[in-house]
Amino acid sequence: MKSQPMDNLVYLEYAVAGIIRYWLINSDYKQTIGDRVEISTSLNSWRKVTEGAYLYSEGINPYVGDNFHETPLGLIVFNKLISHIPQWIGIIFIVCDLVTAHVLYRTAQTFMSELFSRQMRKKEKYAKGTETLLLKQSDLVLPPVYVASAYLFNPYIIFSCVGQTTTVFANLCLAFTFLLMIKGQRIACCSVLALATLQSLYPATLLVPASIYLARAESSSSLEDKQSLRASSCILTVVTFISALLLLLYISSELTGGWEFLHATYGFILNVPDLRPNVGLFWYFFTEMFENFRLLFICVFQINATLLYLVPLTFRLHDEPMLLAASLTALMAVFKSYPSLGDVGFYLALLPMWKHLFNFMQQGFVVGCSFLITSAMGPIVWHLWIYSRSANANFYFGVTLAFATAQIFLVTDILLAYINREFSLYHGLHHKGSGKTTKLVLE
């Protein structure tokens, strides 16, 4: 409402992004992009979806073989799409992408206003001389536009959409989770989160920031005992999520007449049987693993992807559930078993929400250069390995590892910038603790 010109700008961006995607989908590049391992993995490739839909339409159970890893809900929906409106599928992907961008835009707008109101409340606790660090009203306008642009014009997202990967729909669910989380709608948020968890297991970790948000929304509006209210709210959120997930699983089993889909979807994600190269870290390790250690390392890797950082980050960022959610999404994109560039692009689009932290980031240049270099080198080394046969898997994994390291550096940099800013807000810009100016550095 206040940002009408901004809204217009955003709609223009939608149009331009839509045109770009439409042009790419209808060009010759679509197949090349869709076949690249960085874009489509065994979990989200459209080719597998068409194969599974064909098997399903022929009456064969697509989960019996090793080929199809979509959820039954997805199977039914995609089957209907493919059989009835095949010529509109590209348009549907583009529309989903644009809707995701819009949802992120609205999320960013809500978040900026929430940031501002919280800052107003905490103003008295801040040290003197930190006014330059505070957000101003004018600072609230641009970040949502940046978020939308970062999503619409990110090459990772564009390629992911053009390649027709189901990550587009996963990102849509995740974006809706973020929006409903910040709006405080429990049932809708838990349902969408259950939908996202159904597809790929890892969004379940977002239950924690979601319950923090919902608890905060409930307890801020009442004056009763906050501790027990928050506890009961968290429990209610968890229960709602679990029941939504169980309902979806039950519907899925009814649709396919059995529970084999669990082995093909969750079993596939957890056991990592397919070791085709992708931008993740699992495939290289497990090609070289001795069978004796396989179970240990699968457990270790999956704990690393889900549990290990969840609890400590929750403890540190319990005041900032949105940052917690974004960090968890980023860690998920790096450490999940079959990541793709669509996951990476999603959390990159969330970063402009913390534009005020960019001043405190110390490794921005290194991270940016790493992103550029590894994104360019990845396809080159892949070509050298697969087609020219002059490189080997180590080259590709090295580039992928550098990419993952760059992402980790980005996440830690953002978090450290947050801590830095909080510290500066509470203790002044130049703290004279022991007679000299101190600044926090990550060692």
Partner 1 sequence: MTSDRGMILKEETSDGSTKGEDAEDNDAYRIFAAIAYAVVLIVIGLPLWWKTTDVYRVSLPYSRIAALDSLDVTLGMNISISTIDPARGGRLVADLKDIFKTSKLFQLTFLALPLEKKDLASVHSPEDLENASLQPRKPGELLLLEVPGLSRFTANHVLAGLKRTVYFSSETSESESAVKLSEVLESWLLQEKSLRQTVAAMTAPTETDQDRSGRRRMPTAAEYDIMITVVNPEPEKLHLNWDLPQAVQDYLEPLLQELSLLAAYAVKSQWLYFVTLNVQPKLVTETSGSGYQHYALAEDILPQIITPLEKKLASHVSRNPCLNFIVYIPPCEAAPLHIYRRQGMRVKGGVDAFLSPRWGGIVIHNPSSLICHNTSVPEPKEYSPDTAAIMGIFLAQLRLLMGIPELKEISRVGQLPLSTVSLRQWEFDALLRVRTLEQLTSAKLTLQSLSQLLGEISNIVINDAVGSSIYRAVNCVEHAADLLKTGQLDQAFNESKEAFLSAEAAFTDPSLLALLYFPDDQKYAVYIPLFLPVMIPVILSLKSIHAWLFGRMNFKTKLKED
Provide the binding-site residues for partner 1, judged by CB under 8 A.
125, 290, 292-293, 295-296, 299-300, 303, 307-308, 311-313, 315-316, 318, 423, 426-427, 431, 433, 438, 440-441, 443
CB of 293 to partner 1, least distance (A): 6
**CB count, 10 Å around CB of 93?**
22
**CB count, 10 Å around CB of 315?**
9
CB of 312 to partner 1, least distance (A): 4
CB of 271 to partner 1, least distance (A): 14
DSSP assigned state of 387: I
CB of 135 to partner 1, least distance (A): 20
DSSP assigned state of 182: H
Element (H, E) at 12: helix 4-25
Q: Whose CA is closest to 268, among 194, 336, 192, 196?
A: 336
**Is residue 111 within 8 Å of 322, Cβ to Cβ?**
yes
Beta bridge partners of 432: 437
Structure tokens at 122: 């905490």
Q: Whose CA is closest to 354, among 391, 385, 336, 327?
A: 327
For residues 153 and 423, which CB has a smaller minimum distance to partner 1 in the complex? 423
For residues 28 and 443, which CB has a smaller minimum distance to partner 1 in the complex? 443
At residue 260's C-alpha, the angle toward residues 82 and 258, to 5°, is 85
Beta bridge partners of 438: 431
For residues 421 and 431, which CB has a smaller minimum distance to partner 1 in the complex? 431
**CB count, 10 Å around CB of 150?**
22
How many whole angstroms separate alpha carbon 45 and alpha carbon 43?
6
User: 91: Cβ–Cβ under 8 A, 6 or more apart, which residues?
Assistant: 22
**Is residue 261 within 8 Å of 252, Cβ to Cβ?**
yes
CB of 423 to partner 1, least distance (A): 8
Q: Residue 431: helix, strand or coil by DSSP? A: strand
CB of 213 to partner 1, least distance (A): 18
CB of 127 to partner 1, least distance (A): 9
Q: Compute the CA torsion angle 100, 106, 112, 113 (nearest 10 deg).
A: -160
Q: Whose CA is closest to 182, among 62, 316, 353, 34?
A: 353
CB of 266 to partner 1, least distance (A): 19
For residues 322 and 344, which CB has a smaller minimum distance to partner 1 in the complex? 322
For residues 52 and 280, which CB has a smaller minimum distance to partner 1 in the complex? 280
For residues 264 and 298, which CB has a smaller minimum distance to partner 1 in the complex? 298
CB of 291 to partner 1, least distance (A): 9
CB of 296 to partner 1, least distance (A): 4
CB of 287 to partner 1, least distance (A): 15
For residues 36 and 427, which CB has a smaller minimum distance to partner 1 in the complex? 427
How far, in whole angstroms, is CA 102 from its chain's centroid? 16
For residues 246 and 296, which CB has a smaller minimum distance to partner 1 in the complex? 296
Residue recorded with tokens 């090609």: 287
Element (H, E) at 366: helix 364-382
For residues 202 and 346, which CB has a smaller minimum distance to partner 1 in the complex? 202
For residues 84 and 128, which CB has a smaller minimum distance to partner 1 in the complex? 128
**Is residue 178 within 8 Å of 186, Cβ to Cβ?**
no
For residues 223 and 441, which CB has a smaller minimum distance to partner 1 in the complex? 441
